[in-house]
Amino acid sequence: MPFYQYFNGDIIPIDQPAFATNDLGLLRGYGLFDYFRTYNGVPFRWDDYWQRFENSARLLKLQVPISQNETEKVLADLHALSGEQEVAFRFVLTGGYAPDSVNVVQPNFLIKTEALPQDNPAGRLKGIKVLPYQYVRDLPEIKTTNYVHMVLMADEMKRQRAADLLFYKDGEVSELTRSNIFIFRDGKLITSNRNILNGITRKVVLELAEAHFEVEVRPVFYQEVITADEVFTTSTTKWVMPVVQIGDELISDGLAGKRTLFLQELFEKLVSGWGK
Amino acid sequence: MPFYQYFNGDIIPIDQPAFATNDLGLLRGYGLFDYFRTYNGVPFRWDDYWQRFENSARLLKLQVPISQNETEKVLADLHALSGEQEVAFRFVLTGGYAPDSVNVVQPNFLIKTEALPQDNPAGRLKGIKVLPYQYVRDLPEIKTTNYVHMVLMADEMKRQRAADLLFYKDGEVSELTRSNIFIFRDGKLITSNRNILNGITRKVVLELAEAHFEVEVRPVFYQEVITADEVFTTSTTKWVMPVVQIGDELISDGLAGKRTLFLQELFEKLVSGWGK
C-alpha cells in the first residue's frame, strides 16, 4: 500500500508536495527532525524519541504544534494506512512560513511514514569501514536537519568503500554522521559525552551494558579509538555495528569484536521481543 | 499582481507548494541559494550573481539544471508576470529528491519572485547596532541555506535593538549573517578576505573605493573593528550600511562615518543609473 504523511493537521499521500516555498526549513535550514521505527508493530522507545524531539524543538525555540498523545494517534493512523507490519517514522519540524525569511511565526510539522531501512546484516557481522573527518556538528545537542557534510562526502565514501564518517576535532572524537561511537579499551566500555547527539540506541546500549562491563562516559580521543580493542557505533538503523577500519587503520585484527557482538545480541534480543 | 515562481521547468503561483517532502534541502539542509534584485527593471550585476550561484553549486557538487541564458528568460517571464517595475529574485538549488535520504540524484531548482525588501533608510543615515557573536560559517564560500544562528538569535537581536550579528572567532572577524564587513582605520579601507561569502556588493564597493582610498583585503581582527574610525557592512539589501555600535561599544562617536556615507553615495549613484 502507498504510504501517507501528516502535515499540519492533514493526512496526505506521501508524494504530495506539502511545503510552500517560503518555509524556513527550506530557505534557512531552520529545521529539526527525529526518526524512529516499530518492532512488532510498536514504536520503539517512543517516550525517549518524543522527549528528544521536544528537546530539539525547545533548543531551536520552536513550539511543537500537537501533544505527544495527539501525535501518537497520528502515528497509529499512518501505520494503519501503510498496511505494513513495521514502519519507520520521520518527524520534521521547521521554522514555518516566514514573510521576511527570518522570523519564525508558526512552525510546520511533518510526519513521514517510511519503509524500514536496509538492515546491512553483513555489516553487523563483519563490521564497517569509516573515514576520519575533521568536523564537529554545529549545535550537536539538537537534531537539526544540517547534514551537508554527509551528503557532500557520499561519493567519496562510496569510492573508498566506507560506510560513514567519524567526526573528530582537535584530537577528540565526537560521533559519526548519524550515530554514536563506543570503544572497548583496557577492559572498559567507553563512549563520548560531548559534542554529540544523545542517541536513543546509545542510551539503550548503555543500559544493556551496565550489568556486564565497567562503563566510562567521557571525552574520547582519536588516538584511543584507533588503538582500541573494539570499536562500534550505535543508531536506530545501525543497531550495534562493529567498526573495523578507520581510514587506513584496522581496529585490532580488523574483525568484529566479541564484546561488540555480545552487545549486539543483547540489543537484538530486546528489539525482537519489543511490545510482546 | 500576485507573484509567480519557477520550479523545475514550470511557472506556478508563488504560494503553491512545490517540493515533495523527500527533498534533501528540507531533510538534510543540502541546499544553496542566491538573491539579487533589479534597478530600473534590470537585474543588477547579473553575471556576477550567476557566477557566484554556479560556484556554490559546483562546491556542493550539484548540477545547475538550466543554462544562464535559459535562466535569463525565466527571469524575464517572472518579472513580466509580477507587473512590478522592480523585483527581487531568490534562487534555491537543493540536492533534490533522495530515495535513501542521502545520495543526490537530481537537484531541484526554484526561482522565487519577491517584493523588494524594506530599504531601512534610517539605518543608512544613522547606522545600525550589531551584536558580536562567536561563530564562523561552515563552508563560508558557499551560499548554503544554513542560517540557523541568525534565526535562532532573531528575538535576542530585537530585544537588544540590534540589526544583525557580527561573526568572529579566535579574535578574527569574518562577516555578518548576510553581509560583509569593512572598516576605515589609519586612513585605509580594510575588509576581511577569509571565512566569508564573496559578496557582490562587497565587490562593487571595492571597485568604487579604488579611486579614492588605499584598500587592504586581509584578515581583520575584532580589536581593529571596535577601535576603527568607521565601520560599515555591505549587501544586496543593505547597500553600504554604517555600523555604529557593536554590542555595548560605540564606533568612534557613534555616528555614521563620512567616508562610509561617501561610498554609500557612490553606490546609490551607480544603482540609480543602472540599466540606463
Summarize pLDDT for B107-139 with one digit per residue, the tens: 999 999 999 987 678 889 999 999 999 999 999
Mean pLDDT in residue range B128-154: 97
* Closest of B225, B228, B215, B167 to residue B195, by C-alpha: B167
Work out the average pLDDT over A91-98.
97
Query: In Å, what is the CA distance from B16 to each residue of A23, A108, B76, B83?
Result: 12, 15, 20, 19
Give the DSSP H or E segment for A57. helix A46-59
Cell matching residue B124: 543608512
> Cβ A145–B29 below 8 Å, yes or no?
yes
Q: What is the pLDDT of residue B2?
A: 85
Domains of chain B (ranges, CATH numbers):
4-114 (3.30.470.10), 121-272 (3.20.10.10)
**Grid coordinates 567616508 are at which residue?**
B259
User: For A143, which residue in chain B has the nearest alpha carbon?
Assistant: B28
Q: Chain A: residue nearest B98 by CA?
A: A151
Q: B15 contacts in A (CB within 8 Å)?
A: 20
Chain B residues interacting with chain A (CB cutoff of 8 angstroms):
5, 7, 14-31, 33, 60-61, 90, 92, 94-95, 102-104, 110, 112, 138-139, 144-148, 150-152, 154-155
Give pLDDT, residue A28. Answer: 98
Q: Is B252 left (phi over 0), alpha (psi -120 to 50) or beta?
A: left
Distance CA B19, CA B125 (A): 41
Report the 10 Å Cβ neighbour count for A152: 18
Rounded Cα gap, residues A7 and A112, in angstroms: 9
Q: Which residues in B lie closer than 8 A to residue A144 (C-beta atoms)?
A: 29, 148
**Which of B101, B105, B158, B177 is most worth mutating to test chain A (most A CB atoms within 10 A of its CB)?**
B101
* Exposed e or buried b per residue across A55-89, where buried means at least 16 C-beta atoms within 10 angstroms of its C-beta: bbbeebbbebbeeeeebeebbeebbebbebeebbb
Contacts of A207 by beta carbon, 8 Å cutoff, 6+ apart: none
Average pLDDT over residues A252-263: 97
User: What type of residue is A81?
Assistant: L
Per-residue pLDDT tens over the stretch B197-242:
999 999 999 999 999 999 999 999 999 999 999 999 999 999 999 9
Tens digit of pLDDT for each residue in B14-55? 999 999 999 999 999 999 999 999 999 999 999 999 999 999
- The string of pLDDT tens digits covering residues A195-241 is 999 999 999 999 999 999 999 999 999 999 999 999 999 999 999 99
State whether B29 and A92 contact (CB < 8 Å).
no
pLDDT confidence of residue B153: 98
CB contact under 8 A, B145 and A60: no
% chain A with pLDDT above 90:
96
Matching residue, cell 544562464: B68
Average pLDDT for B129-153: 97
Residues 6+ apart with CB under 8 A from B100: none
* pLDDT recorded at residue B221: 98
| Number of CB pairs, chain A paired with chain B, less than 8 A apart | 126
Measured between CA atoms, the residue of chain A closest to residue B24 is A151
**CA closest to B30 among chain A residues:** A148
CA distance B151 to B212: 37
For residues A129 and A115, is the Cβ–Cβ distance under 8 A? no
Asked if A21 contacts A94 with a C-beta cutoff of 8 angstroms, the reply is: no
Mean pLDDT check: name the lowest of A23-32, B119-128, B169-178, B184-193.
B119-128
Mean pLDDT of B171-181: 98
Give the cell for residue B139.
563552508
Q: Is the pLDDT of residue B1 over 70?
A: no
Q: Which three cell numbers stand for residue B83?
A: 507587473
Of the candidates B18, B147, B155, the beta carbon closest to that of A17 is on B18
Checking if the pLDDT of A1 tops 70, the result is: no
Assign A91 to helix, strand or coil.
strand
| Burial (Cβ within 10 Å: 0-12, 13-18, ≥19) of residue A171 | exposed
Angle of CA points B53, B59, B64, to nearest 5° = 50
